[in-house]
Amino acid sequence: MKLELSTQQKNAQAEFRAFVNEEICPHASECDRQEFTPPKIIRKLANHGFLGAIIPQVFGGQKMDMITYGILNEELGRGCSSIRSLLTVHSMVAHALGKWGTKSQKEYWLPKLASGEIIGAFALSEPNVGSDAKSVETTATLAGNGYVLNGQKKWITYGQIADVFLVFAKFEGKPTAFLVEKNSPGLSIKPISGILGVKASMLAELQFADCYVPLENLVGKLGFGFSYIAASALDYGRYSVAWGCVGIAQACLEACIQYTSERKQFDVYLKEHQLIRQKITQMITNVKAARLLCYQAGYLKEINDPNSIIETSIAKYFASTTATKIANDAVQIHGGNGCSSEYPVERYLRDSKIMEVIEGSTQIQEITIAESGYQNYLLSTVPNVMGKKLAERV
C-alpha cells in the first residue's frame, strides 16, 4: 500500500509551513524568553482559520480532515510548541462542545471559538490530581438556577488569557463538565511562570470560591464528565500532541543538518564524522516512524474506527519519547552552543520533555498500551467466552 497525501493535503501542508516560517519561527525564541504569546500571533492564527480547524463549517470552522489537522499540528510544533498547545486546548474545548454540547451551546460558542473571538481552555488537572484525572477534588453543588463550584485547577494551558474554561468538577461524587467564563463571580486566575518548557503557553492556576455557573452551562449529562467528555477530548489532545512531537523532532533534524553542514571540527565539517552521520540517520528514521504512526491514528480517526484511540496512544507514546531522544542528541551535536538560548535546540529539548508529561504521561501510555496488548492477545488466542472474561480482568 502506498501512503500518499492528497493534492489538497499537500497544498495545505505547504500553506502551513509557509505560515509557520514567516509568522511563528522568527518569534518563537522571544516568546519563550518572555513566557508570553503576543495577541497579534493569536489573531493571525484566527485569521487563517486555524483556531476553527476541527469545527464544522456550519459554525464558521474549517472542519479539516484528521490528516490535514495533524499536519497543521506538526508544522506549528516545528515552529513553537507553546503556540501549538494553544491549538490543542482550544480544539479540545471545541471538540467537547461539538460532540456533547446542546444545540444552543453549539450555536453560541462554536462560531466564537472558530473565529478566535474567544479562546477556550481545558481545566482538568489539579494540585493533587494529575494522571488520576477522574478523582478531581473540585466540587459542584446545585444552587437555585445554577451550580456553585469550589476547588482549584492547576497547569491550565493559556489559562491567563482564556475567555471560557471547560471545567471538570464532582457533582454528588460524579465527575461532571461545566463551561465557566473568565468573568464568572468567584473565579480568580493566577499566572504560573518558571515552567521548564512550553514557557509561552501562559499557564494559570484557577481558584473557584463559590463560583456560580448557570444551569445552561452544564456540558453533557451529570456524571458524564470523565468517562465521556474528558476522555474524548483528551484523545484529541493526545493526537495533537503526537503530531506536535513530530514537529519538534523535525525541527531538531533540520537544525542539525544545517549546523553540521556549516561547522568544522578537526578540519572537516561535522557532517563528515561517522558518529554524526549515525545520529542523523537515527533522527531521519525515527521522525519518519513517528509520522507514520500519526498518519495511522489520523486515518482511523477519519473513518471513526474505535481502534483509533489506542493507536493515538501508541503514536503519542512513540512520538513524545522520540522527540526527547532526538532533541537530546541535537543538543549533543551542537555541543556548548546547544546549551545556549542563541540556538533553538535547547528550547526543543525543554519542550520535548513536557510532551512526555501532558495529555497522559509516558508511563500512563505504557500502562494503557500494555493492557490493550494483553486484551487483544487473549481475545485472539483464547476461546471466545473465556477470552472475553480474561480480557476484562486485564
CATH number for the domain that contains residue 99: 1.10.540.10
In this structure, are residues 113 and 94 in contact, taking their beta carbons and an 8 Å threshold?
yes
Largest CA-CA distance found in the chain, in angstroms, rounded: 78
Domain with 168, as residue range(s), is 121-223
Blockwise average pLDDT, block size 10, the chain, 394 residues: 88 98 98 98 98 97 97 98 98 97 97 98 93 86 94 97 97 95 97 97 98 96 89 95 98 98 93 96 98 97 94 97 98 96 97 95 92 75 52 53
Q: Which amino acid is at 148?
A: V
pLDDT score of 388:
52
Residue 77 is assigned to a structural domain of this protein: yes
Last residue in a domain, options 223, 247, 266: 223
- Side-chain half-sphere CA neighbours of 108 within 13 A: 9
Q: What is the pLDDT of residue 1?
A: 66
Which residue's entry shows cell 540556538? 343
Say if residue 128 is in the same domain as residue 264. no
In order of 95, 97, 225, 338, the CA distances from 55 in angstroms are 7, 10, 21, 39
- Residue 231 and residue 321 in one domain: yes
**Domain for residue 47, yes or no?**
yes
In a shared domain, residues 230 and 337: yes
Choosing from 49, 84, 118, the residue where a domain stops is: 118
Q: State the Cα–Cα distance between residues 192 and 154, nearest whole angstrom.
A: 9
Site of grid cell 533534524: 253
Domain-embedded: residue 1: no
**148: in domain:** yes
Residue 196 buriedness (CB in 10 A; 0-12 / 13-18 / 19+): exposed
Whether residues 270 and 385 fall in one domain: yes
Tell whether 127 and 37 lie within a shared domain: no
- E strands along the chain, which residues? 120-123, 139-143, 146-156, 164-171, 174-181, 187-191, 204-214, 218-219, 264-265, 268-269
First to last CA, the chain: 34
- State phi, psi for 335 to the nearest 5 degrees: 60, -135
2 lies in a domain? no
Please tell me whether residues 339 and 205 are part of one structural domain: no
Indicate if 23 and 125 belong to the same structural domain.
Answer: no
DSSP SS3 for 129: strand
How many separate domains does the chain show? 3
What pLDDT was estimated at residue 393? 55
In a domain, 351, yes or no: yes
Tell me the HSE value of 255 on the side-chain side, using a 13 A CA sphere: 28
What is the pTM (predicted TM-score) of this model? Answer: 0.93
Q: For position 339, what pLDDT does the model report?
A: 96
Residue 336: Cβ-neighbour burial (10 angstroms; 0-12, 13-18, 19+): exposed
- Is the same domain home to 389 and 288? yes
- Catalytic residue numbers read 359
Check whether residue 251 and residue 362 sit in a common domain: yes
Q: What is the pLDDT of residue 148?
A: 98
Neighbours of 370 (CB within 10 A): 11
One domain, residues 275 and 371: yes
Give strand pairing partners of 148.
141, 212
> Given 3-state DSSP classes, what are the helix, strand and coil percentages for the chain, each rounded to the nearest 5?
60, 15, 25
**How much is the pLDDT for 382?**
56
Last residue of a domain, one of 203, 223, 243: 223
Note the pLDDT of residue 76: 98
Cβ atoms of 58 and 214 closer than 8 Å = no
CATH number at residue 384: 1.20.140.10
pLDDT of residue 99: 94
- Say whether both 93 and 139 belong to one domain: no
Kindly report the CATH number assigned to the domain that includes residue 127.
2.40.110.10
Residues 218 and 366 in one domain: no
